[in-house]
Amino acid sequence: METIRKQALRLREQVARQQQAVLKQFGASYGGSDGVASDDAEIRQHQNLEKLFISTRAAKHFQRDIVRGVEGYIVTGSKQVEIGTKLSEDSRKYGSENTCTSGSTLSKAASSFSRACALMEKERGNLLKALGTQVAEPLRAMVMGAPLEDARHLAQRYDRMRQEAEAQAVEVARRQTKIREGVPHPEMAVKLETAEIKLQDLKANVATLGKEATAAMAAVEAQQQRLTLQRLIAMVEAERNYHQKVLQILDQLEGEMMSERHRIEAAPNPIPESAPPPPSYDEVNATPTSRMQNGSTDGMGYFLGEVMYSYQAESDVELSLSVGDYVVVRKVVNNGWAEGECKGKAGWFPFAYIEQRDRVLASKSNNTQKDQTRQVNSTLKGHRVRARASKTTSQALPHVEMMNFSILLVQTIINILHSYY
């Protein structure tokens, strides 16, 4: 369509130039050079009006595209609000009705997520409302508004009248040629005069209507440019404000979740400086092996513990621990210390740094079979070395402890084998 319009415009300009040549040839009959100047101005006005028509039409289509895009965004955004609201409600329900027996960490996270999700969906709703009222509605009114339609009607009237004036100019030129080449006749002169008067009236009307149409189209074009730019700025600002608020909500939510995560993953409080140091082996050799639970002890014998937090020994009687190691715990005392063996070494360590295990976890033993086997062998070897050394020292373990320790090692080996097969 654009190619056809351009071809039609070129044809009209060509016809106008031909008419101008005819009028120039018979310029005396139309007021000499004034008529030629008038035709040049009219051609420029016509070209300017054509450009305005194309510009306003393109702006109208762009405004319509923006409206359609915003309407589609509102539809999909409303569906996202519905889904997000449902997710927020489900998270709130879990956070308030959680029955987990191991803690409320996930419940707190779910409640925080629910509140953040509800706030984000509220902000999304505000964004959609702003896009509808500040962008889509004004542009839709501009597309369907009367000023644009009125200006286009004026331009169309001008175009039809201009075509009529061009046809009348050709008729006047034909009659002049006929009178000049033939025998003068009073009736032909009257018809020529009537045609010339009609042509002058048409030219005057074309000039007037052309000015009105040009002014109307120029005003519409300026309004389109200004309003469309304002609506685009409003859309960008609404989007920016929405994302800024959502970012603040997400930053706060992440801070709460990471704080809770660090709290549960952080190592327990170290042994206070005022706490008594770990006891010597002489002090506890005659004490039965015990296990501490919430500050109390019972005589359940040796047990296996998994290291949950690393610990660096600060003296020769303490035992360094690494996360994931398994410790054979032999003694637990009420001041927070425990004694055991790990990787062929024995010593004291904070009891809060380990968790009791009935056996080596399958998920770990599958990947570290050789390491666990070496650990058991190392523990046995370390015990034999200390047993031989006990012949020359007063820190030998009682026979009951030796028996319990041997039974525990056998049970540990059996559990490891069960975890593989």
* pLDDT tens-digit series, residues 372-417: 545 545 554 554 444 445 444 434 344 444 444 545 554 555 555 5
- Which pTM value belongs to this model? 0.55
Nearest Cα to Cα of residue 307 among 320, 296, 289: 320
pLDDT at 315: 85
pLDDT at 170: 86
Q: What is the pLDDT along the chain (421 residues), one digit of tens a residue?
A: 667 766 766 666 666 665 555 445 444 333 333 343 356 777 888 888 888 888 888 999 999 999 999 999 999 999 999 999 999 999 999 988 876 666 677 888 889 999 999 999 999 999 999 999 999 999 999 888 878 788 888 888 888 888 888 888 888 888 888 777 776 677 888 888 888 888 888 888 888 888 888 888 888 899 999 999 999 999 999 999 999 999 999 999 988 888 877 776 665 655 655 666 777 655 555 444 444 444 444 444 678 888 888 888 888 889 999 888 889 898 888 888 899 988 888 899 988 888 887 654 444 444 444 555 455 455 545 544 444 454 444 343 444 444 445 455 545 555 555 554 4
Whole-angstrom distance between the N-terminal and C-terminal Cα of the chain?
Answer: 79
Distance CA(313)–CA(271), nearest Å, equals: 12
Rounded CA-CA distance 281/99 in Å is: 44
What is the full DSSP assignment across 60-87? HHHHHHHHHHHHHHHHHHHHHHHHHHHH
* DSSP-assigned beta bridge partners for residue 354: 307
Phi/psi region, residue 156 (left: phi>0; alpha: psi -120 to 50; beta: rest), is alpha
108: Cβ contacts below 8 Å, ≥ 6 apart: 95, 260
Q: Which residues contact 243 (CB under 8 A, 6 or more apart)?
A: none
- Main-chain dihedrals φ then ψ at residue 348, nearest 5 degrees: -95, 150
Q: Strand locations in 270-408, DSSP E? A: 291-293, 296-298, 303-307, 326-332, 337-342, 345-350, 354-357
What are the residues facing 337 on neighbouring strands? 350
